[in-house]
Structure 1
Amino acid sequence: MAGFGDIVKKAFYLGVGIASYAGEKAGENLGELRKQAQKIADEMVARGEITTEEARRLVDEMVNRAQQSVPTSPQETQKPTEPRRIEILDEEESTPTNNSEEKVDTLRDQVAALQEELRRLQRE
């Protein structure tokens, strides 16, 4: 059973390592975002579009929004909340009636007439 304990220990260390790596990457991305936001704000201040106080608030707001947003995977958003509904038709509804057969015949006649008119127009 010592082998099982080693596997559990390695799995635990793997989880800790992954969490640590994810935290570092998030910190790097957040730092990069802050640099880019500060650069944009500095350019706007240099052009006189905003004041330094507004620039500071803008950068802080952008960083706060980035920290609060949590991306969701596409699989989570596409999962149905309830089972798919199935409609069961009665036997009477599924068999064609004379009325529907007449409609089909009428549509066939209209398609044939339109095809004939198309041929006539192409010849002219």
Structure 2
Amino acid sequence: MSLRDALLALPQSLLLARNDAALAAMLSVDRTRRGPRLIGIGTILDTLGPEPGAALLDALYALRDTVPAIKWAWVLIDRGELDVSLDSVRGQIDALVSQGVMTAAQAGAINSLAEVADPVSVSDVSAILNAEGY
């Protein structure tokens, strides 16, 4: 849903009150976008916990000799440079889930590392409401 559509879906009374800052705050709740996030061994251990993280790292380490995508991802993990915001990396994470290498919960935890707040600005709200004649 676009920002305009989300704003105009709010109750008419709120739009007519024109408290643009309050409207922006309401629309900003739980609003996120993907941002660059480099991770490595330490991040995986911290995110998943020492034992589950180590088990995943062991599984990836074992696969690196037979799966080219894992081999090169491992180089980036080892250097702390695997960007989990990239579609290609997220696709590989999904493949690892479908292959039973990691759980969906683990994938979600790792993918969430690339989620950053994406607040709505007051000026964006004002511009939309002004354009709509409020």
Instruction: Give the TM-score of the pair, scaled to structure 1.
Output: 0.21
Instruction: Give the TM-score of the pair, scaled to structure 2.
Output: 0.19
Higher strand share: 2
Q: State the structure with more CA Rg.
A: 1
